[in-house]
Structure 1
Amino acid sequence: MNIPSILVVDDQPDNFDVIETFLSEQDYTLHYAAGGEEAIASLDLLQPDIILLDVMMPGIDGIEVCRRIKAMPQWQPVPIIMVTALNAKKDLAECLAAGADDFMSKPVNAIELRARVNCMLRIKKQYDSLQALLQLREDMVNMIVHDLRNPVTGILLSAEVLRLPNISAERMLRKVEQITISGKQLQSSIDSILLLAKLESGTMVLDYTEVDFCALCMSAITDFKPIASQKTVTLVSKLPAPSSLIKLDATVFRRVLDNLLSNAIKFSPSNSQITLEAEYLEAGHAKVKVADLGPGVPDTLKQSIFEKYEIGTRMQNVSQTGLGLAFCKMAIEAHQGTITVEDNHPRGSIFTVLV
């Protein structure tokens, strides 16, 4: 956690000593500037979270310093508390008009100082959190658009080829297959985003039915084989003989399998193998593992990788939104199950789901 940084601007060092004493029991980093020009010049270096600014200073006074700081876009969010011996209403109004967020009268009272500093830091923290959320939202939108654009581009390019004169029947079938694959990828991405939103908001009610677990796994393998073959990746299944039926939401769980297989294909090198292994457990439960030979997941990310927008190993030309595994985690936990990741020796990852 970052320690809040406070810049005190006052031409009297003794006043800084008083403020430092009053705030000594707080976990702050205090900086001192003896004048307005010095304060403005030090902003980029000190990166203050709050500024305590004296009004009556030689050279440029505090009101002009406040006005200049607030004129700079990068420093507008930083709260400025004017510390002044002036108490006329017009003087206080002038401070606020210059952009000050709060003001205190001299002599400074310790309790009031701590309260106002804490209040302004709380506002600054809320602003920083909002900005981080907005940036995260922008990054997420950009990544989702990138994910959706790829299959759309594939569909459009294949459609253009189909319009060419004298196209061979073999090439036509190949382009139709590519359109089908891109369409399924697009539909899968859209469905996952919608289901994730429902799970997160708590508006989704799972539709439990008795499901042939092996048949569900096999259908996922069958649908993803054409996608895997485009990267010359082989999908291998290790499924037990049909046993008892498992109660789960087949649509949601199938989406989990789709995301795990899609991720495995994304990160698998060419001419490698992905294994989907399933087994029945006692009391109507089951376990499924998806193992790949990709770059693996660092130990430091084995927990956070299931959080929204968290990305494990960034790979060139591989679109990653950090939504797929977040959806898997929420969907499996909604089934009262668990999902984990471990190393696949000598290389790769194994994602294990228990339901």
Structure 2
Amino acid sequence: MNENCAKVLIVDDTPPNVDLLRNILSSLNYKISFSYDGHRALKIAPHFQPDLILLDVNMPGIDGFETCRQLKTNPLTQHIPIIFVTAHTESSALSKAFECGAIDYITKPIKESEVIARVKTQIELQRARNKLQGLYNQIETIARYNKLLLNSVADGIFSLNTKGNINFVNPAAETLLGWGQHELIEQSLKVLLSSKDSTRFVWEEHTIYTSCAQAKTPHCATAIFAKRDDSTFTVDYSASPLSDAEGMFTGAVVIFRDVTKQRALAGKIEHQATHDALTGLINRREFENQLQLLLTSVKEDKKEHVMMYMDLDQFKVVNDTCGHGAGDELLRQLSHRISETIRSHDTLARLGGDEFGVLLSNCAIKSGVRAAENILSCIQSFRLSWDSKNFTVGASIGIVSINEQCESIGDIMSQADNACYAAKEGGRNRIHIYDDDDVALQERKGDMQWVSRINNAIENNAFVIQRQCIVPVIATERFNFDHFEVLIRMTQGNDRLIPPGAFLPAAERYNLITNLDRWVVKSLFIWIDQNRHELADDILCSVNLSGRTVGEESFIEFLFEAFDTYKIKPSNICFEITETAAITNLALASNFISKLRDHGCYFALDDFGSGLSSYTYLKELPIDFIKIDGAFIKGIVHSDVDYAIVKSISDIGHILGKQTIAKFVENDEILEKLRIIGVDFAQGYGIDRPHNM
């Protein structure tokens, strides 16, 4: 309580007395309320909640003594200190005042110095009482909380005395621990700890004691508790101190919850965020994290490490011949075989598609080459049997040394990737060691000119966005809104536009794609802001996002800020993510989609059908639209297989509550087939060609 904000209630039937007291107390910056009779004072006090009451004795109606008695019997006012203001100084009157509950008195005629001294003293005392009351309130809160938890089967509660011995156990704790209450009372906390913790248990050194007894603050932590049968389980617990009236530590109350399953689930989610769902290997993000750790350590210990970048050869043949199910199974089996050829402390990762990375720690380049030869031999001897067919694959492996001359993980990844490319260009199914003076690698740098062109185009605003309409296959009121996809093009001289297929692969390969995604989103939002007076309220703009962008937490922050800056309604935006990107980073994609859908955005799964093994993932992704892969759409007029695939995707999408969009609709024959199937929307050159926004 701040003294300058103290509140005082004056109760006196004589207005001049009230005015005099108000004038005296006004110099202390107190907040003053007053009443001319006891009845009104009894109504004011519970609401005003003064820190002190100055109460006259002789008043009509009910006198000061009776008013004091009633204030002290009301739970809302019984804590408020009362000073009587009286001309009666005889001992009997004063005794009666104190018996009623008064804590002091001021004699009449009123003297300013006496009023100030006694009021300030009582305000200070009330401040101390409030602090003390706060401690009592904490204890009462804990007691109420304990009582509530006694009826809970999920949380266990026990209390400890100053020696760390148990003096209370609730029924839930009995169930969780497997002990009866009578068996635990007077037992040491040690009996609940795992054998590892109990062997070195000293109560005065335990965190519950040091936090509650010494720091006197609540303590939250995770621990391993032991049951009566010596089995253990993980708990999250909160320990709060108990104190007596003088604030002395009397023990602690501990509330705990069995979080074994939650921890296992959290571990599973963490595993999904750092591992590839198909192969179980670590993913690209975690691989880069471990590469960064190696690069940091090499600056200190001067040790040498090796990185391999592997790209499978002839993998596409398996997919094209037997479908993605066969390709997925090949990746699973081959990943297991490769992991068995490297040392247990080495790292194998799936970087994406049919690309793998290997980190060999404490390994010279010569040893790394031998390890790569073993891996290549393993891959060459592998056979996949599928649908009565046998498949073999090869691998192009790029090797780079990780030493103190390396500048960044980006450089290392690029060098390994270039070496892998050189191996592939050199005839495939071979190993290539990175060398700065390598002619083949110098030629590869020509391909990297796109990196410079992309950066320059972003800096000089040399990109443009176009739109292509997405229309209902069957016009209905339900689909009566403007819907189009936003497309990016690069400009160059003579008003020529470069299609995205020319530069997006380089942007993906060299980690520029997120910058492009940011540029497209910002350009679209500016366009909507500048043209909102001409646009329908229910316009829906579809924007493509790369898999790498979906994995960036900072991109969500960028989007939220852009929505606010340009005052864009999230319901006007539909983000498109390719099926491959979503499945490759399932946990990240689900998290990304959920956050933005909660914000009001829509989502479409693009190129669906390009990975038929992913039907099972469709239920897990909270999307609104399914864009069917154009390769199937183009063939539905003449291919019964393509027709059946499109129909199955459409039917499954509708069962799951998703709307379907057909891409590459190039003529009326395709559109008519889509009407028969029941696809919701169509997009393609047969409907609308991309045009500038």
Which TM-score band (shorter chain)? Answer: 0.3 to 0.5
Q: Which structure has more RCO (C-alpha within 8 Å, separation ≥ 6)? A: 1
What TM-score do you get using the length of structure 2 for normalisation? 0.26
**Greater per-residue strand proportion:** 2
What TM-score do you get using the length of structure 1 for normalisation? 0.47
